[in-house]
């Protein structure tokens, strides 16, 4: 998920670059052509502007789609800067403009490509300066290359530090601080993604709602600090029991947890929910309010085979209904929503609640 956040940042920066490039190069091409008397420069600027407009048009519906073309954009920027090197005069040394190349590519290309573009940029500076009509001294070329590499290193360091902060914030935004399970805010995103994935693959989707029995009285008798410790242990037990790829454990609120998984039929979903319930029972935590004199949990689940017409709220509501019946049946048990005679009617009700 953090990868998605970094990609979203890179896409936003690239789209900002594209907007700036269009706003600058279109008037610049007109100025070169009409006022400066250098139509060739105006043509180059116009071609670059048209290229950027094409990228903007192709990625108009999906900002992250622009990342597919990022290397083409960086290559076009490099060629534009190299062209500027050849047309420069003594008053405006375009080698200096090559120094902004790291700022151009570092925030938008993938981490694995940054070293490649750094080396390409350094080689391009050296080649451009060597091929100029007035060839600079070797010392001058060396100084420019070293300055470029230094700036590149600092830029890459800052970009990587920024991406680490983005990854850290993205992680914190989806994690419950107490239990380290996923939080409720992330649940809707996962459900939308899993519903769409199951729709494409034809796999069934299972949502389990699990609640710790008599936990309010447990907190009153044993204290909230110990109650928090128990929540951490329960969350860890759930995560230990849900270790398949595609298993998600969420703290839904208070003492209630939600587990999302896929690829299980109804019997397998029941066995999975039962395994999670027994995992909590196996913690062997005393609870004098329970008839079993130890910590127990109730669970309700819904296994849906056809996800083509359901909303993210539907599995939650049905699993929550099953959990309610599990509590009414005496707690410390697992109930399948579809086992109820009223399940068919309930599942047909409008599912408009929010997650």
Structure confidence by residue, pLDDT tens digits, 82-101: 777 666 655 445 566 777 88
Identify which has the larger pLDDT, 281 or 289: 281
How long is the chain?
355
Q: End of a domain among 174, 203, 227?
A: 174
List residues bridging with 298 in a β-sheet: 211
Query: Domain range holding 325?
Result: 184-347
Asked if the structure places residue 164 within a domain, the reply is yes
Asked if the structure places residue 353 within a domain, the reply is no
- Measured between alpha carbons, how far apart are the two ends of the chain, in Å? 19
Asked if the structure places residue 44 within a domain, the reply is yes
Instruction: Note whether 333 and 189 are same-domain residues.
Output: yes
pLDDT of amino acid 36: 60
Instruction: Note whether 195 and 317 are same-domain residues.
Output: yes
What's CA 197's distance to the chain center, in Å? 16
Q: Is the pTM of this model over 0.75?
A: no
Instruction: Note whether 242 and 301 are same-domain residues.
Output: yes
Instruction: Note whether 205 and 279 are same-domain residues.
Output: yes
Give per-residue pLDDT as tens, 201-255: 999 999 999 999 999 999 999 999 999 999 999 999 999 999 998 899 999 999 9
The tally of domains found in the chain comes to: 2
Domain with 204 in it: what CATH number? Answer: 3.30.70.270
Question: Cα–Cα distances in Å, from 130 out to 67, 89, 127, 138?
Answer: 33, 15, 5, 9
CA distance 73 to 67: 10
Instruction: Note whether 21 and 107 are same-domain residues.
Output: yes
Q: What are φ and ψ of residue 291, in 5° steps?
A: -60, -25
DSSP three-state, residue 291: coil
- Average pLDDT of the chain is 85
Buried b (16+ CB within 10 A) or exposed e, 1-39: ebeebbeebbbebbbebbeebbeebbebbeebbeeeeee
How many Cβ atoms from other residues are within 10 Å of residue 83's Cβ? 17
Instruction: Note whether 71 and 122 are same-domain residues.
Output: yes
pLDDT of amino acid 332: 95
Identify which has the larger pLDDT, 163 or 27: 163
pLDDT of amino acid 91: 42
Q: End of a domain among 144, 174, 204?
A: 174
Q: End of a domain among 174, 202, 233?
A: 174
Q: Determine which of 104-108, 124-128, 133-137, 334-338 has the lowest per-residue pLDDT on average.
A: 133-137
Asked if the structure places residue 274 within a domain, the reply is yes
Asked if the structure places residue 261 within a domain, the reply is yes
pLDDT mean over 36-41: 66
Asked if the structure places residue 41 within a domain, the reply is yes
CA distance 152 to 308: 49
């Amino acid at each position: 998920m953090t990868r998605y956040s970094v990609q979203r940042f890179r896409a936003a920066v690239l789209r900002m670059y594209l907007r700036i490039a269009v706003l600058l190069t279109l008037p610049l091409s007109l100025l070169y052509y009409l006022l400066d008397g250098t139509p060739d420069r105006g043509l180059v600027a116009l071609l670059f502007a048209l290229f950027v407009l094409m990228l903007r048009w192709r990625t108009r519906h999906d900002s992250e789609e622009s990342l597919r073309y990022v290397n083409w954009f960086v290559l076009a920027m490099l060629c534009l800067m190299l062209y500027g090197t050849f047309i420069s005069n003594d008053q405006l040394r375009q080698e200096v403009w090559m120094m902004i190349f790291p700022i151009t590519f570092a925030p938008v290309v993938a981490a694995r490509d940054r070293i490649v573009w750094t080396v390409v940029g350094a080689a391009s500076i050296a080649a451009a300066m060597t091929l100029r009509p007035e060839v600079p001294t070797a010392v001058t070329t060396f100084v420019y290359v070293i300055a470029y590499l230094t700036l590149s290193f600092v830029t890459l360091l800052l970009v990587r530090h920024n991406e680490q902060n983005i990854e850290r914030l993205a992680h914190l935004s989806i994690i419950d601080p107490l239990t380290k399970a996923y939080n409720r805010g992330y649940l809707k995103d996962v459900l939308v993604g899993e519903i769409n994935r199951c729709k494409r693959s034809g796999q069934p989707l299972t949502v389990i709602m699990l609640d710790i029995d008599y936990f309010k009285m447990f907190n009153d008798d044993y204290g909230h600090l110990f109650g928090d410790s128990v929540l951490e242990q329960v969350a860890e037990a759930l995560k230990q029991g849900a270790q398949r790829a595609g298993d998600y454990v969420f703290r839904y609120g208070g003492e209630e947890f939600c587990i999302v998984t896929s690829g299980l039929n109804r019997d397998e979903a029941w066995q999975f929910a039962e395994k999670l319930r027994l995992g909590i029972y196996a913690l062997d935590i005393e609870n004098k309010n329970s008839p079993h004199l130890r910590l127990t949990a109730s669970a309700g689940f819904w296994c849906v085979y056809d996800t083509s017409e359901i909303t993210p709220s539907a599995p939650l509501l049905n699993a929550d209904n099953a959990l309610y019946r599990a509590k009414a049946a005496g707690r410390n048990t697992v109930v399948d929503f579809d086992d109820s005679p009223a399940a068919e009617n309930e599942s047909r009700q409008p599912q408009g609640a929010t997650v």
